[in-house]
Each structure stands twice: as C-alpha cells, then as structure tokens.
Structure 1
Amino acid sequence: MSTIEQEITLLKGLAQNDRTAIETIYRQNYAMIQALILNNSGSVDDARDIFQEAMIVLYEKASSATFELNCQLKTYIYSVCRRLWLKKLQQQQRYSLSVDNLEETIPVDDVVEEHEKKNTDFTMMDTAMSKIGEPCKSLLDAYYLQKKSMQEIAEEFGYTNADNAKTQKYKCLVRLKKLFFAQYKSE
C-alpha cells in the first residue's frame, strides 16, 4: 500500500473513530510536534494539548465530505500545530511577531525534511533487517532491542562462548550495513 493510500485509510479511520487509526496517527506524528513545542518555549503538557487540538481539527476535517488532503498528513498536522502554538504564544503575550512572519520563527521545511529523512532511514533499516535472515535478525534483536549480554546470547544461540557470539554479531552487523547502504545508494 502506498503512502497516499495509507494516509487516506488513516483519515477514513479517524473519521470513523477507529482506535487503530488514531493511535497510528499519534505514534507517527506526536514526537515531531513535541519537538516543535519544546524547541519554541513550550512544555510537554503544552505539546499534548496542542497535538490534541490538532487531532480535533483533523477529525473535523476528515469527517467533512469536502476535505481533500493536498500534502502529506504529517505536514498538515505540523502546520496545524504550528499555527495553534503560535496563536497560544501570542495570547500569552510571549510572542509579539505577526503570524505572517512564521517562516522566520520556525523553520518548518527544515524540521519536516529532517523528520522525513529519519522516517526514510528507519524504513530502509527495517527493510534491511527483514532481508538479513536468521540467525542474524534474532541475534541483533536480542542484543540491541532486548539488551541481552553476549553471554546470554551465546547460551541462547548455542555458541561456545561470549567471544564467538560477539564475532557472529559483528558479521551480522557487516551484512546489515551492506544491505542498508546498498538500498541507501539506490534511493
């Protein structure tokens, strides 16, 4: 399913109060909004409030039969949150510039572009991990995600000692890097 189709599905799910769609939108976008608010005189609570308000706006738009998304969903959410935050700052008299000068205050394109690049890199790493095969996938998962020691990995995977497990982990990392960078160069 393409990104556009996924986003249309998410918006339809949001309009129908589908919990999975709502959670997916939160998971994919909240960190970016929290960074925006924290980097611009806000708190974590402010970020939660602004994101919630943006979700209400998005829900109302998604429920409307005439709404047509003309950009990526994260760009739309970022834009709504940015406007809501600047409006709140202006109301608190912590921000005196007019809303016309937004681009000077918050470099939207840079932040969105950086976020998109990270998402692309994560997607490419996920693809590389799916291609690496076993036992490398399980070994790297055990070490990096489950935070197991080399001794635990040696016992679990049947290696004679922790040094052999460490050597195998290194070989797996080399394979993963090759897969990742082959993909990276082709993009």
Structure 2
Amino acid sequence: MKKSLYETDEAIVEGIRNDDDRALAQLYKLHFPMIFHFILNNSGTEDEAKDIYQEGVIVFYEKIKDNSLELSCQIKTYLYSVCRRLWLKRLAEKGRFASKLEDSEPFLSVEDDLPRHEEQERQFGIMTEALEQVGEPCRSLLEDFYIRTRNMQDITDKFGYVNTDTAKNQKYKCLQRLKKLFFATYKPEA
C-alpha cells in the first residue's frame, strides 16, 4: 500500500499552513468516517454528517491559519469534539435533543468519551481493512446496502441478480465473509 505524505498530525497541520490541499484531503479521508458514524447514530443523515464535518474542518483550518490553535490532543479528538458540539447544537435547534445544550454541558466531556471513541475508531480501522479484503462484488454490495442505504430491489437490478431473495442471500454470504475477516484481526482490548 502506498504511504501518504501526511501520516502524522504534525505533517497535516504543516501541510495546511503551507496551503497544500492534499493535507485537507487526508484529513477528510482519515476522520470523516468517525463523524459520519457518530451523526448517523445520533439522529442524523449522511448530508448532515457532511455538513457538520465541513464546519468542523473549517473551524480547525481557520485556527491553524490564524495561529490560534493550541492542540493538546490528537486531531481526531479535536475534530470529534468540535463536530460533536456542532451536532448537539444543531439537534437542540431542531428540537431533537431533550435538554438545552448548556444543561448537558458537564456531561459531555470529551475526556470521558475518549476511551469509547478510540475503541470505536480502532474497530472502524479494522473494519475498513476487512472491507478492502472482502473483494468485489461483496464490497460494493455491502456499501450499497449499509452505507448508501439502497433497497434490495435497487441492489438486485444493479448487480443483475435474478430476484431480491438471491440478492439477500448474497448479502448474507458477503456479510459472513466480512465478519470472518474482521474477527480474524479484531480482539477486544482487556
């Protein structure tokens, strides 16, 4: 696998300071899935996840450009914190969040949530590797169903299956292969 120019947080920050778009692209590649998962699991949509992540990256970018960023944690933790607060604020504005953001602020400490978040990120990394290893058409089929939320009829048509039962059977087999690859690598931390 080809190594990225921006493998460390420091390199990404330096790349942004030097106006290198590849640093921002790497930022999106590395951390968007985490925010996407968080927002989808908290009453959001894919478009809302993209919007919130864009806003979070803009906050990060502007703080780097005006030299006001004092990064005392990893970039992923910083972006998670910013995006989480932006999302909770948006939920409060939409009335989807029962209490006011100010009321729940003491309970939203990033430090408290960090171990769970880091474990989830480790799982996402292993799942991404497993998804790359599962091969085609399984990868596309699983992404279409679980990520793009396409229905079985659309998947049947796209992949040329005889009927939706055949497509469901293939999805099941692909999912079993993916699970096997995932659990061959993943071991819960004690």
Fold in common (TM above 0.5): yes
Q: For residues 132 and 62 of structure 1, do their structure 2 counterparts lie closer, same or farther at Cα, with a shift above 3 Å needed?
A: farther
Q: Which amino acid in the other structure matches residue 113 of structure 1?
A: P
Distance of aligned partners of 1:174 and 1:54 in 2 relative to their CA distance in 1, 3 Å threshold: closer
The reply to whether residue 178 of structure 1 matches residue 189 of structure 2 is no
Deviations 1:14-62 (A, max 9, x none): 1112344246547838959x99xxxxxxxxxxxx999866644444559
> Structure 1 residue 70: deviation in Å?
7.4
Question: What percent of counterpart residues are identical?
Answer: 39
Closer, same or farther: CA 183–62 of 1 in aligned 2, 3 Å: farther
Gaps of 5+ in 2: 40-53, 84-101
Answer whether contact 1:11 1:62 (CA < 8 A) is retained. Answer: no
**1:130 matched residue in structure 2:** 132
TM-score by length of 1: 0.57
CA deviation map 1:94-149 (0-9, x unaligned): x9xxxxxxxx8764422232322222221111111000011211211222233332
| Closer/same/farther in 2, CA of residues 122 and 145 from structure 1, 3 Å limit | same
Change (3 A) 1:52 1:138: closer
- CA gap of 1:53–1:171, structure 2 versus 1, over 3 A, is closer
Q: TM-score, normalised by structure 2?
A: 0.56
Q: CA separation in 2, counterparts of 1:106 and 1:146? A: 30
RMSD: 4.3
Give the structure 1 partner of residue 113 of structure 2: 111
- Aligned residue pairs total 150
- Taking the aligned partners of 1:134 and 1:169, their CA distance within structure 2 comes to 12
Answer with 1 or 2: which has the greater Rg. Answer: 1
| 3-state SS, counterpart of residue 8 of structure 2 | helix
Q: Which residue of 1 aligns with 2:152?
A: 150
Residue 150 of structure 1: CA displacement? 1.8
Q: Unpaired segments of 5 or more residues in structure 1?
A: 36-47, 82-94, 96-103
Secondary structure of residue in 2 paired with 1:147: coil
Higher percent of residues as helix: 1
